[in-house]
Structure 1
């Protein structure tokens, strides 16, 4: 009886070991696993059908990682934030403000950013219709009671955070409810902001400089109908950030994959001329601005 009991005990112990080892292999997610490396993207502007470009990017990343990659395009910033927060993504493409907010909560880290005309920087612009009487930000402040102002997405760095701080310093804006403008709206995207200014639906608006220039180049807005009246200091470009659970070896492979991208269809989706490596400290000025604006908990 004791021998039978002993054999049963050893059998149970062996089963536990097998289950543990199986679980460990499953969780380690090695190359060749059936589990996809999950990537989330928020398009900075309405790009229409991105699927072909994303299929190509999936293949580039998959070839370098040696495993399947699954890219999901989200409708807004908050969707990507929540997905990263609840570990539904291993990597995501963020705006700088969204990145520092996510990094604070989850320990995510920036590893890659895009190049625009060979540079990893952009600016926040304030734009007005070309025939507007307002020719500077000082004019906006002076005539704020007559001006309808359009921000982009409330979580946008160049479309909300940075111009909002500048206008706050000048005493005309605190938030959506507290300001000295005739009206304030959040359009939700940079391309909509450009169009409402071009069509004179609003008197002034904030926009990403790189996206604005691309919209003009692509003929989606008429640059002859819009004038830039304010430009911020340099802002580091949108980061691709990985979850804290992604190991250093995978990070190196991802960086190598992005730096290898030359396909104009993939680059065009992001308005990029290429990619370069990035690190968390590149976004310290954005982090400080977010704290100043009360956008970090």
Structure 2
């Protein structure tokens, strides 16, 4: 696994894609000379994520009265490091990434994504194999190859490994593909015996027609995982943090539904308040697996 420290140099070239959204006014009670930097981890192709998050960022800028700069970072670890080094004021983390962001960067959860009834949404990790594979259950993966997403992903790394550990499946060749779509493609192209495909990636692939479920089957599924939190850096002024939460909670469904589509939020709804307890299951998972900073 990559050491957490090696991304320091990469963070100097932080963004894969970025944009700045101007608000009606800047400065005043806005930190960082009026520019609020909003980081997003690349859980999908950044070029696909950017337009959806630009809609959210523009609406947030209007509510905050601050300039909002969108940054799609290199990876999970780079985003944690960027917040720790005061390079981000706001960031959306994957649930497991948030565990380490809270511990190492003081990230505080503000909101997450709800469905049309206002209920916090969740997703599941899964392991899939070709339909004609002899693998029928997770125990049958012994001696097989398994494509995972990227180091530090809850559904694409930690939870599948936890599933293997729970079922005492040790001799599996793990292949980190670099992302959820890439792991799925490894399976489609026959490069591995099995692959993690979480419910969010599956929903996106269904919509795009890029995954034919009739050719594959799921042999393992995790318990539900609460959806990604949008967080704020903990050392910011309390009044500003309150302002961020209020602004996020006041966003219209139309402001967040394009992002929600990537997170399998159906039907789309507003953002809802979350706190540290919401993600207790992920803190417990990190403890059970003995995950440390360098594992993300």
TM-score, with normalisation over the residues of structure 1?
A: 0.79
Which residue of structure 2 lines up, in the alignment, with residue 199 of structure 1?
Answer: 189
Q: CA deviation at 1:267?
A: 3.6
Matches within 5 A, 1:1-297: 30-31=29-30, 34-115=33-114, 119-140=120-141, 144-145=142-143, 147-173=144-170, 180-181=171-172, 183-246=173-236, 247=238, 248-258=241-251, 260-263=252-255, 264-272=257-265, 273-274=268-269, 275-296=271-292
Which residue of structure 2 lines up, in the alignment, with residue 8 of structure 1?
Answer: none
Question: How many correspondences in the alignment?
Answer: 258
| C-alpha distance in 2 between matches for 1:32 and 1:137 | 49
| C-alpha distance in 2 between matches for 1:33 and 1:284 | 31
| C-alpha distance in 2 between matches for 1:244 and 1:115 | 24
Residue 98 of structure 2 contacts residue 229 of structure 2 at CA under 8 Å; is this kept in 1? yes
| C-alpha distance in 2 between matches for 1:270 and 1:91 | 19
- What SS class does the counterpart of residue 111 from structure 1 fall into? strand
Residue 203 of structure 2 contacts residue 264 of structure 2 at CA under 8 Å; is this kept in 1? no
My pick for the range that moved more, 111-120 or 85-94, is 111-120
- What SS class does the counterpart of residue 154 from structure 1 fall into? coil
| C-alpha distance in 1 between matches for 2:187 and 2:31 | 50
- Deviations 1:168-202, CA, capped at 9 Å, x for gaps: 222233xxxxxx12x32111111111111122211
Residue 92 of structure 1 contacts residue 242 of structure 1 at CA under 8 Å; is this kept in 2? yes
List gaps (5 residues or longer) in structure 2: 1-26
Q: CA deviation at 1:34?
A: 4.7
Give the 4+ runs in structure 1 shifted more than 4 A: 31-34, 116-119
- What SS class does the counterpart of residue 288 from structure 1 fall into? helix
| C-alpha distance in 2 between matches for 1:163 and 1:138 | 12
| C-alpha distance in 2 between matches for 1:244 and 1:164 | 31
TM-score, with normalisation over the residues of structure 2?
A: 0.79
Q: 1:188 to 1:235 in 2, by over 3 A?
A: same
- What SS class does the counterpart of residue 112 from structure 1 fall into? strand
Q: 1:185 to 1:33 in 2, by over 3 A?
A: closer
Residue 138 of structure 2 contacts residue 167 of structure 2 at CA under 8 Å; is this kept in 1? no
| C-alpha distance in 2 between matches for 1:37 and 1:94 | 17
Q: Which has the larger radius of gyration?
A: 1
Give the root-mean-square deviation of aligned CA atoms.
2.3
